[in-house]
Structure 1
Amino acid sequence: MNASLRSHYLEALGIPEFLHIQVKIQSLNRPKIDTQCLVIETKNLHSFCQIGKTQNFLFKMLGAIGLEKSDIKCVSTNIDDLNQTLKQYNAKTVLLMSADLKPSLMQHFVAHHPSEVLTNKQLKRETWEVLKKVKRCFK
């Protein structure tokens, strides 16, 4: 739409021109962040994005399949923002650690959140099986 036609429409709607400013979205031009493993959680009281017991356990879990801390990016997001979050990364694998999140691609995996595994030891076996699948993506 040309500027003249846009001005005409804005005037017809009673919207001052200065209220309708076109802004380029910076994120469209931002390069994606490369990572071996993107680990995503929804908001959690014991977030692995914060330094502490849960984060240490997460790094131990992923270290067991050969990943270094530098290979891992941790993100906490809302369910509604998951697709937008995924678009920001170029990840070889994505580990979704929330029952609310659903995998959308073959390299996306769902596992129990580390805080759940720490409080319920019976979840370790199931989580380990998922981690073995993640490891196969790196071969």
Structure 2
Amino acid sequence: MSQLERSDYLEAFDVPAFLYAESADAIEVSIQKICTPCLVIETQNAHSFCQTGKIQDFLFKMLGAIGLEKANVKCIAIDAVDLEYTLGQYDAKTVLLMSKSLSSDVQAHFSTYHPSEILVNETFKREAWEVLKQLQQCLK
């Protein structure tokens, strides 16, 4: 049976086209990834940098110190188990993970303390600064 004949039969039975797609291989799926120079990820946090306020201001000051502008940064909050799925939705040149429960072995992924932790414990500033300098090198 040809594809045209099959379509005619299914149309005669009022079967919508999306119900009789042959397989995922037969359907051209176009997934549009979100492009950004720097993706900053946190886990769900009471002191989220995704919300306007002191924590977000501090994050953008940190990133501004290495030359990143707000327009070049995408901030998101996720559940720790959703990291791989989330990373698949983005085309990010660098990724900054800001939670102890998030980690990655990818070279352009960096992990450091959350801005709320740095504001509470200033001894974390040095380590965070070293990570930010590595991120800056990767962006060049």
Tell me whether the two structures share a fold, i.e. TM-score over 0.5. Answer: yes
- Code of the residue aligned with 1:34 in structure 2: it is C
Partner of 2:67: 66
- Give CA-to-partner distance per residue, 1:11-38, whole Å, 9 cap, x none: xxxxxxxxxx789xxxx63310110100
- After TM superposition, the structure 1 = structure 2 runs for residues 53-132 of structure 1, keeping only pairs within 5 Å, are 53-132=54-133
Aligned length: 117
For residues 86 and 61 of structure 2, the distance between their equivalents in structure 1, rounded to whole angstroms, comes to 24
For residues 76 and 111 of structure 1, the distance between their equivalents in structure 2, rounded to whole angstroms, comes to 15
Structure 2 length as normaliser, TM-score? 0.79
- Give CA-to-partner distance per residue, 1:30-84, whole Å, 9 cap, x none: 3101101000000111000000000000000000000000000001001111111
Structure 1 length as normaliser, TM-score? 0.79
Partner of 2:39: 38
Give RMSD over aligned pairs.
1.9
For residues 116 and 77 of structure 2, the distance between their equivalents in structure 1, rounded to whole angstroms, comes to 14
Partner of 1:17: none
- Give CA-to-partner distance per residue, 1:73-101, whole Å, 9 cap, x none: 00100111111110111000000000000
Question: Alignment identity in percent?
Answer: 57
Partner of 2:51: 50
Q: CA deviation at 1:138?
A: 1.4
- Code of the residue aligned with 1:81 in structure 2: it is D
Which has the larger Rg?
2
Structure 2 gaps, min length 5: 1-18, 22-28
Equivalent position SS for 1:115 = helix
